[in-house]
Amino acid sequence: MADNLEPTPQPADAIGAAVAPPRRSEWRRFARVFFGRKLYLIGFIIVVIIILTAIFAPLIAPYDPLVTDLYATKQGPSSEHWLGTDQIGRDVLSRIIYGTQISLIIGFSAVFASAIVGMLLGLVAAHFGGWVFAVIMRIMDALMALPGIILVLLIAGLAGGGIGVVIFALGFGAIPGQCRMMCGLALSVKQNDYVLAGRAMGMSNWRIMLTQIFPNAFPPLMVGITMGIGGVVLGEAGLSFLGIGVMPPTPSWGGMVNDGQRYLLQNPLLSIAPGIAIMLLVFGFNMVGDGIRDAVDPKLRGVL
Amino acid sequence: MTAYIIRRVIIGIIVLLLVTMLVFLLVRLLPGDPLMVYMGQFSVGGSGTTRITPEEYQFLYHQYGLDRSLPVQYIDWLGKIFHGDLGKSVTVGQDIGELIAERMPRTAYIGLITFVIGAVGGTFVGIICALRRGSWMDNTLTTLANIGMTIPVFWLGILLMYLLSYKLGWLPTHGWTHPLDNFGKHISQIIMPVLAMAVGSIAGLARLVRSCMLEVMRADYVRTAWAKGLQERVIVVRHQIKNAMIPVVTALGGAIGMILGGSVFIETVFGIPGMGRLMTTAIFDYDYQIVQAGVLLFGAIIIFSNLIVDIAWGWLDPRIRLA
Amino acid sequence: MSIVLDVQDIKTYFHTEYGLVKAADGISFQVNQGEIIGIVGESGCGKSVSILSVMQLIQTPGEIVDGKVMFDGQDLLRYTANGAEMRAIRGSKMTMIFQEPMTSLNPVLTICRQVTESLELHLDMDRQAARERSIELLKGVGVPDAERRVDDYPHQFSGGMRQRVMIAMALSCNPRIIFADEPTTAVDVTTQAQLLELMKDLVTRQNTSLVIVTHNLGVVARYAQRIYVMYAGRIIESGLSDDIFNHPRHPYTVGLLNSVPRLGERHGTRKLIPIYGLPPNLINMPPTCAFLARCTEKVEKCSKEPWPALRAVGDQHYISCYVDIKGK
């Protein structure tokens, strides 16, 4: 009964038709999926605008975000101050524009720091397995057991506020997520035939990890990092809202929401506008993350 | 199943011990004087809230056992916690155990309502979207869910407060009334906190339920079910939901953590005297023993809910139950 | 012998992101009462799509754009895919055995529940009767200790046992026709033979028709009475099993048979000749014969004229080719 026309069993694919993709560069296909859906495109545009805003903040902002004007406090929107002024007469729009810098700096540094540490731990856990895996995963469980914001609150509360502490606290809180993801990815890649083939050819464990597991786990990791930024920015906003994050007078969106809370009746924009900025940023990065995921993960492609 | 539950319980206990270790080490190793943790803010001969002399400092340092090695201190501390001795608050002067017993029920109460609304709402929206995928309703709800996930809970609270209290005057801005004292007032005070926290849970769960349902809908066994001539309703209820719920249950465990975290903000915004509010004020008052106790309590709740999640997994999935 | 199923010119297209895939492009076949037929072809040639189309189990982005499925004097394609008429036929008169025994059974339901649901639905049995009947059915397909194992879950069964369960499910309502989509591909060779013998016995006893879709020529050679050979979404040769195997007339079928070893053949008596090249991409296909690029028998007409329709070359023997290879 060896009369098989094909060497391997055909996958139980509903389509069953050999849809070999036409020869197009991977990048063009990626771009087509990524920019093919409106939400992702909107997210991408938002992210680009936010990054440009952060870089060119001094050029865009109409006022110095730190300069107070006690003759013009708690003003509503006007042609001079589009979003009005806060309780000590600072221009809200300028503060939001400069706040972009703080959010992005904290977002990127915390996510990259946590990604590096988390990835290494995840790789090590997946690679060695056994008790190393058990110990690392239980520690991650313990970190996961503390709601992100609570752990961060504890660290930031103990160590005092400031950008450095906020980055450390948020990065620390984001480690288990990155670690688990990397570990899961590495474990699944490890099962693949090409890794087994590498092993059969006598490649060393570390070499397999670096040359085979990492490149294959890289695209999903990019998704994780992009999505992580939204979470960290929300965390930073939360800490600053509670008053233990970025210290005044540095403009931080979360802090602005908190400051504005007391003057809701005079100028609700004081609280509402920075909140919308937070949402735009988080939405943008989440959508870009979703888009990358759809574009790189063939399993999800076509689902919608 | 019993063996499986016992294994999960043991892992839960190990993780709980790790959490205590983590909290202990964080408090000890982060910059700051450990005596501060016990005494609140003070400065030696300075002008802090407590003024003590260097001799007193040495005496207290020894009295609190801070000159002993870390493992010994940890065991000692753990032993006390085990006996229910969480220490005394330096600012309120009250036993921390009593303080928590007074505050926690309020947080748990609001959290539970939020959880139920979030779980039911999120599952419902997610299933509807998956079944009608591609329709305008799916597109609208999915977009709303994407936005809902990005809303900071404190900002939503403030926005609700601005609209419903300041502008429309329908609801009181803040406060807490025991439901048995004045039920109407109680309800009017918890609507906004619950709403503000539930939006995030509904949005996150809806997204997840939708994608899990879509994945299950393409599964081979669902095609088998169609091939049997079953009705769509039967296929969804009997063949899809249970399978799709397996990953969702995990997310429900995560939602509890999110709600506990959210309570810190929501209680601050709406002035509810619960655990979250207690912890934020404690941080500002440098009353670290309260913070420590609160973090441990939240950690324990989450570990416990993860245990429930694991048991639910076993119940849903025979592959785990009978393994 | 009466015709049970008459499929006429089915066209099922998939709207993929790369373009339109004509997975089944004008498929016609007939199945007689109690007959076993085989549909063979390489993977991706559209054989699964064809039978899924008959049962209207095509999912988006697929769409049945044209054709007729005459069954019991009614055209099934006139019914909506999941409407009451179609549901009454699916799973009772017309059933299906899928390829993957590992994933085709619901992991969270007991075997009993999965077998009984068809019985309850189509034969109006109550729970208890359905349960007893499923135990009988499981015994019938050779599941040992069926009384006890009926309450097990799929993961507690081996691949072969799961496929026996699938067969029991397919037979449960005494169907008139069973489609088996690569029923033995995912199980090992000894189990393959047992399953095929079992299916053959059962359908012969019930006088049910069986359509086996496979890439395995050995399977169809042994069990099928008639064979349809598919290539790139079309049937390119059909005929009685003996004709196809011993007197193939289409260059593709000839190539196919020359490329596989036969059981009982002495070493070195015949040289295996592979078919060079790959099956074509089903997107943007040229109007000419899809096998042209790989064909060793092509004539000038092949690259100028469109892909020819099936023509009779013998009693019940049809090919779609300008060339007619005889005596090879």
Q: Which residue of C has its CA nearest to A15?
A: C49
Higher per-residue pLDDT: B139 or A90: B139
Contact between residue C102 and residue C186 where contact means Cβ atoms under 8 Å apart: yes
Which chains pack against C, by 3+ Cβ pairs within 8 A? A, B
Degrees (nearest 5) of the Cα angle B295, B296, B301? 100
Q: Which residue of A has its CA nearest to C14?
A: A15
Distance CA C238, CA C216 (A): 16
Helix (H, G, I), strand (E, B) or coil at C234: strand
End-to-end CA distance of chain C: 32
CA distance, residue B256 to nearest chain A CA (Å): 9
**List of domains in chain A:** 30-52+94-300 (1.10.3720.10)
End-to-end CA distance of chain B: 8
Tell whether omega for the bond before A249 is within 30 degrees of 0, i.e. cis. Answer: yes
**How many contacts, defined by CB atoms under 8 Å, are there between B and C?**
79
**How many contacts, defined by CB atoms under 8 Å, are there between A and C?**
100
| Lowest mean pLDDT segment, chosen from A57-66, B275-284, C83-92, C233-242 | A57-66
The label of the residue with tokens 């220490």 reads: B87
Instruction: Say what the pLDDT of residue B288 is.
Output: 74
Question: pLDDT per position in chain B (323 positions), as tens?
Answer: 788 888 889 988 988 888 888 888 887 776 666 666 566 555 444 444 555 677 777 777 777 777 777 888 888 888 888 887 777 776 677 788 888 888 899 999 999 999 999 999 999 999 999 888 888 899 899 889 988 988 999 899 999 988 888 888 788 877 787 777 888 888 888 889 999 999 989 998 998 889 888 888 888 889 999 998 888 889 888 888 888 888 888 888 888 888 888 898 999 888 889 898 888 888 777 777 788 888 888 888 988 988 888 888 888 888 877 76
Distance CA B262, CA B254 (A): 12
Contact between residue B277 and residue B267 where contact means Cβ atoms under 8 Å apart: yes
Instruction: Say what the pLDDT of residue C95 is.
Output: 92
Residues of chain C numbered 227-286 and touching chain A (CB < 8 Å): 233, 256, 259-263, 279, 281-283
Degrees (nearest 5) of the Cα angle B9, B15, B20? 125
Domain C3-103+176-319 has CATH 2.40.128.20: no
Higher per-residue pLDDT: A149 or C22: C22
Instruction: Say what the pLDDT of residue B46 is.
Output: 44
Query: B228 contacts in C (CB within 8 Å)?
Result: 90-91, 95, 117-118, 121, 169
- pTM reported for the whole predicted model: 0.80
Distance CA C198, CA C186 (A): 17
Higher per-residue pLDDT: C247 or A10: C247
**List of domains in chain B:** 32-82 (no CATH), 96-322 (1.10.3720.10)
Interchain contact, A1 vs C104, CB within 8 Å: no
**Percentage of chain A lying above the pLDDT 70 cut:** 83
Extract the tokens encoding C31: 């199945």
Helix (H, G, I), strand (E, B) or coil at C298: coil
Is the CB of residue B238 less than 8 Å away from at least one CB of chain C?
A: yes
Question: Which secondary structure element, helix H or strand E, spans residue C38, and what is its range?
Answer: strand C36-40
CA distance, residue A22 to nearest chain B CA (Å): 25
Q: Which class for C207: exposed (0-12), middle (13-18), buried (19 or more C-beta within 10 A)? A: exposed
End-to-end CA distance of chain A: 41
Transcribe C52-102 into DSSP letters.
HHHTT-PPTTEEEEEEEEEETTEEGGGS-TTSHHHHHHBTTTEEEE-S-TT
Packing angle between helix A269-296 and helix B136-148, nearest 10 degrees? 120
pLDDT exceeds 60 at position A7: no
Is the CB of residue B320 less than 8 Å away from at least one CB of chain C?
A: no
Is the CB of residue A12 less than 8 Å away from at least one CB of chain B?
A: yes
Of the ranges A43-47, A216-220, B280-284, which is most confident? A43-47
Q: What are the residue ranges spanned by the domains of chain C?
A: 3-103+176-319
Interchain contact, C62 vs A14, CB within 8 Å: yes
Can you name the residues that pair with C14 across neighbouring β-strands? C21, C62
Helix (H, G, I), strand (E, B) or coil at A132: helix
- How far is the CA of B226 from the CAs of A70, B211, B218, B307, C114, in angstroms? 72, 20, 11, 35, 12
Interchain contact, C103 vs B220, CB within 8 Å: yes
Interchain contact, A271 vs B265, CB within 8 Å: no
Distance CA A111, CA A62 (A): 31
Instruction: Say what the pLDDT of residue B194 is.
Output: 92
Interchain contact, A238 vs B23, CB within 8 Å: no
Extract the tokens encoding C217: 């020529």
Distance CA C158, CA B85 (A): 55
- How far is the CA of A284 from the CAs of A43, A152, A277, A281, B146, in angstroms? 4, 24, 11, 5, 10
CA distance, residue B26 to nearest chain A CA (Å): 7
Q: Which residue of C has its CA nearest to B232?
A: C82
Which residue among A2, A5, A15 sits closest to C23, beta carbon to beta carbon? A15
CA distance, residue A229 to nearest chain B CA (Å): 12
Instruction: Say what the pLDDT of residue A177 is.
Output: 83
Interchain contact, B243 vs C103, CB within 8 Å: no
Which chains pack against A, by 3+ Cβ pairs within 8 A? B, C
**How many contacts, defined by CB atoms under 8 Å, are there between A and B?**
159
Question: Which secondary structure element, helix H or strand E, spans residue A165, and what is its range?
Answer: helix A163-190
Interchain contact, C279 vs A18, CB within 8 Å: yes
Interchain contact, C91 vs B228, CB within 8 Å: yes
Is the CB of residue C23 less than 8 Å away from at least one CB of chain A?
A: yes
Interchain contact, C44 vs A10, CB within 8 Å: yes
Helix (H, G, I), strand (E, B) or coil at A218: helix
Instruction: Say what the pLDDT of residue B120 is.
Output: 93
Closest CA to C143 of C120, C124, C121, C115: C115
Query: B265 contacts in A (CB within 8 Å)?
Result: 149, 238, 241-242
Tell whether omega for the bond before C61 is within 30 degrees of 0, i.e. cis. Answer: yes
Contact between residue B306 and residue B12 where contact means Cβ atoms under 8 Å apart: yes
Q: How many separate helices (H) and strands (E) can be counted in chain B?
A: 14, 2
Query: C281 contacts in A (CB within 8 Å)?
Result: 18-20, 22
B46 Cβ neighbours under 8 A, 6+ residues apart: none
Is the CB of residue A47 less than 8 Å away from at least one CB of chain B?
A: no
pLDDT exceeds 50 at position A232: yes
Distance CA C150, CA C131 (A): 9
Extract the tokens encoding A270: 């004081």
Distance CA B253, CA B68 (A): 39
Q: Which residue of B has its CA nearest to C56?
A: B227
Mutate to test the interface with C, among B221, B249, B315, B316 (most CBs of C within 10 A): B221
